[in-house]
Amino acid sequence: MATETHGEAEAAAGMPQLDFATWPNQIFWLLVTLVVIYLVLSRIALPRIGAVLADRKSTITNDLAAAEELKQKAVTAEKAYQDALANARTEAAKIVAQAKTAIQKDLDVAIAKADVEISAKAAESEKTIAAIRDGAAAAVSEVARDVAAELVAVLGGGADATAVKAAVTARLKG
Amino acid sequence: MATTVEEHAAGGLQIHPMDQFVVKPLFGHGPIEWYTPTNVTLWMAIAVLCVVALMVLSTRRRAIVPSRGQSVAELFYGFIHKMVEDVAGHEGLKFFPYVMTVFLFIFMSNMLGLIPMSFSTTSHIAVTAVLAMMVFLTVTLVGFYRKGTGFLSMFWVSSAPLILRPILALIELISYFVRPLSHSIRLGGNLMAGHAVIKVFAGFAGAMGVASVVPIAAITAIYGLELLVAAVQAYVFTILTCVYLRDAVGEAHH
């Protein structure tokens, strides 16, 4: 026992790595360890991880393909939408143009009618105005003659009605 | 023995940076036979459990949209799978489970070794040497099996001038046989050195009182570095395995 302790102490003082008495022990347990790890890895872990990685790769590939397909669909849908939009715009423009033409036609007819009415009314009015003016002028000369005759009479002149009339008419013209 | 301990105690500094690497029986103090359950057994078993938890339990739902654990498992799978395919060639994919085993064991052991008070199995030359010899033997046997004597043509550099070829063949041959040595010592040495340095600083921290802030800061920094080393060394060991496998399965690249 004492010698063993001494031997251990000596080994500790030097390099335990070079204590060849422990080598068979270490090598034996190392081989056991390596065999166990190898069996665990090659039988269970590595095939499993390899399968998981392959699965993931195929899943990702499939998902990417599906995404590409959906993207294509989206592009098609957008194109259809744009087409529909363009069609609708053309249609709307056509309808607007039609409506404009119809309204213009109605408007033109109405304007023509109104013009005719307006000119008729204007002619009538002018006639009336002319009649009134003539009437007024006649009245003015009548009044002037009467007033002149009266003035002459009042001032004491026994003037002849015809002479007064002629004088007033001459004055009015002058 | 007692006097040595007293002398150390009198010095105030008692650092045993290599104690952490001692292989001890888990039960009792008997001699270590090849079958004795030791701390090696314990930490390798924990590494196995971690590998199972990561690669099997976290992937049990086989989810298309992975959980966090499954993501990590898939990350490792993809990383090593790509490495094997890129470096060793398409033919090398037959060795993918083997390379994955090596990588996960080394990675888990390195990381577990960074838990305080744990035992890092990959800091032992016995472990790394076996891993490297397995790669070496696999490459040699598979190379001869697949290519016959044509495997030897990798030592005969046909692109070099004829006079140089025997010399180059000798150099290639030596470098071929040195591979398992460098392959194993690179991993074991890195791990051992890092852990020993942390232990030394930890010893300082225990003895320096208030000033131990400095070694503790140093331990923190080195711990970060060791995390990097743990991952990088697992990566380096694995990618070299792939490079060597290419000699056996790939086209000649000389």
The pLDDT tens digits of the residues spanning B220-249 come to 999 999 999 999 999 999 999 999 999 888
Q: d(Cα B41, Cα A48) in Å, to the nearest integer?
A: 28
Rg of chain A taking only CA atoms, in angstroms: 65
Q: How far is B74 from chain A (nearest CA, A)?
A: 7
Tell me, what's the pLDDT at A73? 96
Mean pLDDT of A23-39: 94
* Domain boundaries defined on chain A: 21-173
Model confidence at A160, in pLDDT bands (50, 70, 90)?
A: confident
* Per-position DSSP letters for B197-236, written without gaps between them: HHHHHHHHHHHSGGGGHHHHHHHHHHHHHHHHHHHHHHHH
- 10 Å Cβ neighbour count for A142? 11
A-chain residues near B121 (CB < 8 A): 26, 30
Using the Cβ of B151 and the Cβ atoms of chain A, whether some distance falls under 8 Å is answered with no
B-chain residues near A42 (CB < 8 A): 97
Mean pLDDT of chain B: 88
- 10 Å Cβ neighbour count for B229? 20
Q: Among B97, B105, B124, whose Cβ lies nearest the Cβ of A26?
A: B124
Decide if B22 and A12 are in contact by the 8 Å CB cutoff.
yes
Give the residue on A whose Cα is nearest the Cα of B47: A33
Tell me, what's the pLDDT at A11? 43
Whether A146 has a pLDDT exceeding 80, the answer reads yes
Least confident among A10-14, A92-96, A112-116, B108-112? A10-14
Give the residue on A whose Cα is nearest the Cα of B58: A45
Decide if A49 and B192 are in contact by the 8 Å CB cutoff.
no
Q: Among A1, A32, A45, whose Cβ lies nearest the Cβ of B59?
A: A45
Q: Where are the alpha helices (DSSP H) in chain B?
A: 2-11, 39-52, 68-83, 96-113, 125-147, 165-207, 213-249
B-chain residues near A55 (CB < 8 A): 62, 64
Rg of chain B taking only CA atoms, in angstroms: 22
Q: d(Cα B34, Cα B37) in Å, to the nearest integer?
A: 9
| A100 contact partners, CB below 8 Å, separation of at least 6 | none
Phi, psi of A10 (to 5 degrees): -65, -40
Using the Cβ of B73 and the Cβ atoms of chain A, whether some distance falls under 8 Å is answered with yes
Tell me the pTM: 0.72
- pLDDT tens for B176-224 read 999 999 999 999 999 999 999 999 888 888 787 788 889 999 999 999 9
Q: d(Cα B129, Cα B186) in Å, to the nearest integer?
A: 10
| B154 contact partners, CB below 8 Å, separation of at least 6 | B143, B172, B247, B252, B254
Q: d(Cα B254, Cα B158) in Å, to the nearest integer?
A: 8
Q: d(Cα B40, Cα B130) in Å, to the nearest integer?
A: 14
Tokens, residue A62: 């499939």
